């Protein structure tokens, strides 16, 4: 099984399925909960246009349906969703978010290679409430280039010192990139520097990079993240004495892992953690398949691996004040994972708070009740304000 999406052609008449690609540099957007797929567009009898993401940014590619050759058409420092074309297949419409905008509808002209914004519903509110400033930087480590982003408050003053929060994406084969994130903006516009990156295991960089995290959770991925934080803290206005860490799902795993490995962070917000991988194997909706592929087999086969890579093994060493956020109806990372972490941190003597959201599924921060989403963002901000002030 691969964590890298590829393109196939299905012949309706014969019932034959034929694979077109085997190792794309980009990640075709096949959809996910809360976000529909970007349907490919047949430009003619052979050429198929598809939307994909490369290095955290969206683009358009064309694949030859006969030979499988792939050619890049365009790439942007933005993230797009959906894809519709006109009858002549000249214009392509998509929704778009960038680091400064959200909710736009854009049209791309395949003949002139020009893109036009035709709907910009958030222009006025983002003018009145400017989003965070941002920059991109790279970290070279272990033969890999790790891409990272840094957000600064909109009213940034380089003569001041700012607390720094490291945010870790889910997956582990998710990715961060060129998009306006409410969770990131809620921190950055409140006076925080927010750092996030795509450590090895992230998607949108090709199959080899994506699969580097397999059977190595908490290994090189963790080292990548610490190196990114080290690089961010070289900035004179980044206060190394006031640092926080946060993440959700696999990002929650990595947050829980981090506080058991180091005391460098003064506060943590841990969302829907994978805390004890052995118990998660039998309770998550996907771990009986996903877990065997990512974790090297069933628990009785890989007993030592499960123990060595579970945050639960090291939680007794944690000292970081931690807020745990979890939906009670989460089937992906069941609530029991958060409950175990809460008990372990209490026993370790940590300051810890457990926020449970009734009826909330795994994706509630993106697609759940508005009051739940607002509450978890506000709780995270309040937690960091308490310990990083």
Q: Say what the pLDDT of residue 33 is.
A: 63
Q: 4 falls in which pLDDT band (50, 70, 90)?
A: confident
Please report where in the chains the tokens 């086969």 appear, as a residue. 301
Domain 130-388 annotated CATH 3.40.710.10: no
Mean pLDDT score across all residues of the chain: 96
Taking a C-beta distance cutoff of 8 angstroms, is the pair 264, 243 a contact?
Answer: yes
Residue 249 annotated to the active site = yes
Q: Is 104 helix (H, G, I), strand (E, B) or coil?
A: strand
State the pairing for strand pair 144-152/193-198.
Answer: antiparallel
Q: Say what the pLDDT of residue 374 is.
A: 95
pLDDT digits (tens, 9 = 90+) for 120-149: 999 999 999 999 999 999 999 999 999 999
* Stretch 38-56: mean pLDDT: 94
Q: Annotated catalytic residue: which of 51, 184, 362, 372?
A: 362
pLDDT digits (tens, 9 = 90+) for 254-286: 999 999 999 999 999 999 999 999 999 999 999
- Between CA 62 and CA 126, with CA 138 as vertex, the angle to 5 degrees is 75
Q: CATH number of the domain at 8-121, out of 2.60.120.260, 3.30.1360.70, 3.40.50.720, 2.120.10.30?
A: 2.120.10.30
pLDDT digits (tens, 9 = 90+) for 167-184: 999 999 999 999 999 999
Taking a C-beta distance cutoff of 8 angstroms, is the pair 136, 147 a contact?
Answer: yes
The Cα 43–Cα 60 span in angstroms is 13
Q: Say what the pLDDT of residue 62 is.
A: 97
Taking a C-beta distance cutoff of 8 angstroms, is the pair 162, 191 a contact?
Answer: yes
DSSP line for 147-175? EEEEEE-TT--TTS-EEEEEEE-STTT--
Task: Tell me the torsion sign for CA atoms 187, 189, 192, 194.
Answer: positive
Beta bridge partners of 97: 79
Q: Which two tokens stand for residue 314?
A: 């090291």
pLDDT digits (tens, 9 = 90+) for 300-338: 999 999 999 999 999 999 999 999 999 999 999 999 999
Q: Say what the pLDDT of residue 385 is.
A: 98
pLDDT digits (tens, 9 = 90+) for 196-254: 999 999 999 999 999 999 999 999 999 999 999 999 999 999 999 999 999 999 999 99
Q: Where are the domains of the chain?
A: 8-121, 130-388
Q: Say what the pLDDT of residue 196 is.
A: 99
Q: Annotated catalytic residue: which of 249, 279, 310, 312?
A: 249
Q: Say what the pLDDT of residue 2 is.
A: 55
Q: 37 falls in which pLDDT band (50, 70, 90)?
A: confident
Residue 362 annotated to the active site = yes
pLDDT digits (tens, 9 = 90+) for 183-194: 999 999 999 999
Q: 22 falls in which pLDDT band (50, 70, 90)?
A: confident
Q: Say what the pLDDT of residue 34 is.
A: 64
* Stretch 336-359: mean pLDDT: 98
Question: Which residues, 6+ apart, have CB-to-CB distance to 39 below 8 Å?
Answer: 83
Q: Which two tokens stand for residue 360?
A: 């909330």
């Amino acid at each position: 099984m691969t964590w890298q999406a590829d393109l196939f052609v299905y012949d309706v008449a014969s019932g034959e399925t034929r694979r077109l690609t085997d190792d794309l540099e980009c990640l075709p957007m096949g959809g996910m909960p809360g976000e529909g797929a970007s349907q490919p567009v047949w430009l003619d009898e052979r050429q198929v246009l598809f939307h994909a993401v490369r290095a955290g940014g969206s683009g358009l590619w064309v694949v030859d349906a006969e030979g499988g050759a792939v050619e890049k058409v365009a790439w942007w420092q933005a993230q797009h969703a959906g894809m519709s074309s006109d009858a002549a297949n000249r214009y392509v419409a998509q929704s778009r978010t960038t680091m400064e905008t959200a909710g736009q509808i854009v049209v791309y002209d395949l003949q002139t290679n020009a893109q036009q914004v035709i709907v910009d519903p958030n222009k006025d509110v983002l003018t009145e409430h400017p989003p965070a400033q941002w920059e991109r930087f790279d970290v070279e480590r272990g033969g890999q280039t790790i891409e990272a982003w840094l957000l600064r408050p909109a009213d940034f003053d380089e003569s001041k010192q700012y607390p720094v929060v490291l945010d870790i994406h889910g997956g582990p084969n998710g990715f961060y990139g060129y998009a306006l994130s409410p969770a990131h903006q809620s921190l950055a516009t409140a006076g925080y520097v927010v750092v996030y990156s795509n450590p090895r295991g992230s998607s949108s960089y090709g199959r080899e990079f994506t699969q580097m995290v397999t059977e190595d959770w908490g290994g090189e991925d963790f080292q990548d993240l610490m190196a990114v934080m080290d690089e961010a803290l070289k900035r004179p206005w980044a206060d190394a004495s006031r640092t926080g860490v946060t993440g959700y799902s696999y990002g929650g795993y990595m947050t829980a892992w981090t506080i058991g490995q180091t005391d460098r962070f003064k506060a943590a917000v841990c969302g829907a953690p994978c805390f004890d991988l052995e118990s998660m194997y039998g309770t998550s909706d996907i771990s009986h398949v996903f877990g065997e592929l990512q974790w090297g087999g069933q628990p009785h086969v890989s007993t030592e691996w499960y123990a060595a890579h579970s945050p639960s093994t090291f939680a007794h060493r944690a000292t970081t004040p931690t807020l745990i956020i979890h939906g009670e109806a989460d089937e992906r990372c069941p609530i029991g994972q958060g409950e175990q972490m809460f008990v372990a941190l209490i026993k370790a003597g940590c300051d810890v708070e457990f926020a449970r959201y009734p009826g909330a599924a795994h994706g509630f921060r993106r697609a759940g009740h508005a009051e739940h989403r607002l509450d978890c963002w506000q709780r995270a901000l309040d937690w960091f304000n308490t310990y990083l002030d």
